[in-house]
Amino acid sequence: MSEAASLVLDRVSRRFGDLAAVAEMSLTIPPGELVVLLGPSGCGKTTTLRMIAGFLQPTEGDIRLDGRSILPLPAHRREMGIVFQSYALFPHLSVARNVAFGLEMRRMPKSDIAAQTAEMLRLVKLHDLAARLPRELSGGQQQRVALARALAIHPRLLLLDEPLSNLDAALRAEMAREIRLLQRDRGITTVMVTHDQAEAMALADRLVVMRDGRVQQSGRQEDLYERPANPFVASFIGGSNLLAGRLDADRLVLAEGAAIALAGHYSAGGPASLAVRPESIHLAWPEASARIGGEVELCTYLGATIEHIVRLDAGSSVVVRGPGLGPGATSRHHPGTRVALHWSAAEERLFDAADAPVAAVVASETIQGEKACTD
């Protein structure tokens, strides 16, 4: 097995005409880590992957593998295993010949190729289907062939381009688990690209959230979920209600005129936006101490959770989600019911006009807030 490699992207940019698909991207991946590039379509994640693979040259910056620049190397000499969104199997070759392709390119002895191919197929549990053609396999099986083919060459880096997006939900979870275990087993440095945050959270050691060609935030799942660097990350990872307004001490005056009584105290002022996750908000009967009041528009029972859409007095709507079962189960409010919204200081994120987080001075109202919502 080849040694795991470290990958460094050093201020890599890629321009298409006037458009910067990737701008000044820097990233360091230690050996054996699985990093997921996450973002909406057009954010530059696939362009980045294609630059690492050698299908695109960066217009600026450097990409180094184990400290050595790989930019002079054409794709066929970079020794990277790639799993494509479409699997990209060779339709005229059998499963075994697909897996053997990379080994044949390396001019290995025939007996070695056969032995290694058989081993890879056992690894992905497809040894019974070695003689089949790709079109005779299901989506999940084709995906496994693609993975085996990529791993067979003992690549220095594994690149996964939306590997799960063509699979149905049940298969996706199973495949995600398998990829994770294989990757950890072989200790292979991996870069994966996806637009699906749940998929990213499930697979990643570390996530890199991208938007408009720029890295928004990079970190572990907890970092992104609990300490989003800007409103975009707050809403993209896990989903957040975003409310824009003007910060005035401990109140956020919304554009429509109404004000939210914030849980924390802030010394700053000026335009700001507030991010609160749907599961952080608790609903109660209308009362004076509420952060803000509103009227239930829609109540949906989803089994494990209950979801309310609440139209605030200020006009905009927020999503509120609570557990549907157990002792802490959310009570259901009918559409048209007036409710009070509560959350604690630890659960609100404030961002200034430049989208940078605003820190609270003191956060002492947590206890009061918690009390109110259990009433």
Binding positions for other proteins, rule: CB under 8 A:
53-55, 74-82, 84-86, 88-92, 101-102, 105-106, 146, 149-150, 153, 159
Comparing CB distances to other proteins, the nearer of 50 and 195 is: 50
DSSP letter for 332, please. Answer: P
**Smallest gap from residue 51 Cβ to other proteins (A):** 13
Comparing CB distances to other proteins, the nearer of 101 and 232 is: 101
Comparing CB distances to other proteins, the nearer of 149 and 211 is: 149
The residues, ordered by sequence, that sit 6+ positions from 192 with a Cβ below 8 Å of its Cβ are 34, 35, 36, 37, 159, 160, 161, 163, 200, 203, 204
The Cα 184–Cα 180 span in angstroms is 6
**Smallest gap from residue 214 Cβ to other proteins (A):** 26
**Smallest gap from residue 87 Cβ to other proteins (A):** 8
**Smallest gap from residue 80 Cβ to other proteins (A):** 5
The Cα 362–Cα 263 span in angstroms is 10
Cα distances (angstroms) measured from residue 180 to each of 48, 186, 195, 214: 21, 10, 18, 26
**Smallest gap from residue 66 Cβ to other proteins (A):** 18
**Smallest gap from residue 97 Cβ to other proteins (A):** 10
**Smallest gap from residue 5 Cβ to other proteins (A):** 15
Tell me if 273 sits within 8 A of 358, measured CB to CB. Answer: no
Comparing CB distances to other proteins, the nearer of 72 and 91 is: 91
Handedness of CA 64, 155, 216, 263 (dihedral sign): negative
The Cα 258–Cα 244 span in angstroms is 12
CB atoms within 10 A of CB 216: 22
**Smallest gap from residue 90 Cβ to other proteins (A):** 6
Comparing CB distances to other proteins, the nearer of 90 and 285 is: 90
Comparing CB distances to other proteins, the nearer of 157 and 233 is: 157
Comparing CB distances to other proteins, the nearer of 63 and 82 is: 82
Terminal-residue alpha carbon distance, the chain: 60
* Residue corresponding to tokens 């050691």: 205
Comparing CB distances to other proteins, the nearer of 39 and 81 is: 81
Name which of 161, 173, 187 is nearest 4 in CA terms.
187
Comparing CB distances to other proteins, the nearer of 77 and 122 is: 77
Which residues sit opposite 317 in a β-bridge? 311
- Helix extents (H) in 197-239: 197-203, 221-226, 231-236
The order of strands in the sheet holding 357-358 is 259-261, 251-254, 241-248, 269-276, 348-352, 357-358
Tell me if 283 sits within 8 A of 323, measured CB to CB. Answer: no
**Smallest gap from residue 4 Cβ to other proteins (A):** 18
Strands 80-83 vs 157-161: parallel, antiparallel or unpaired: parallel
**Smallest gap from residue 301 Cβ to other proteins (A):** 43
Comparing CB distances to other proteins, the nearer of 102 and 213 is: 102
